Amino acid sequence: MPDPIVSEWKLDLSQSDVTKLLKGFQPLSMEDRWMSRAEGPDADGIFLVSLYRSWTANQQFQIKGRISSQQGAQSKGSGYRAQIEELTWDNGQATSTEAAAKDMAISVMRWILECDLEHLS
């Protein structure tokens, strides 16, 4: 990304959504318009998901998340907790505001990766 903007984003993820994010997506046809690739998680539970426009292969977003195994109310006793911590996007894109970038990233995660993102209304 030529002019990246990084924004904190505390968005809880289900185990199912993390699995979908880490699996990635390779487009089958031009109508898909997006592709994604994931790295990690590393020893600290950090993973990166990059979202690209399929016909240009230009990275539009990078999602930084963390998986942790904690007991407690936030993990609902399951011992599993995951969260998106940051969103990075290019300042030169149409999604140059934080709200627009997050909305577009949510749309892509739901449409292409079929994430539920159940913690959003």
Q: For 75-106, how does the pLDDT look when each residue is reduced to its tens digit (9 = 90+)?
A: 455 667 899 999 999 887 666 789 999 999 99
Q: Amino acid identity, residue 103?
A: D
* Tokens 């739901």 sit on residue: 110
For the segment 15-74, what is each residue's pLDDT rounded down to a tens digit?
Answer: 999 999 999 988 787 777 899 999 999 999 999 999 998 778 889 999 999 998 754 444
Domain architecture of the chain: domains with CATH? 4-111 (3.30.530)
pTM: 0.84
**Cα(54)–Cα(13) distance, rounded to whole angstroms?**
25
What is the three-class DSSP state of 100? helix
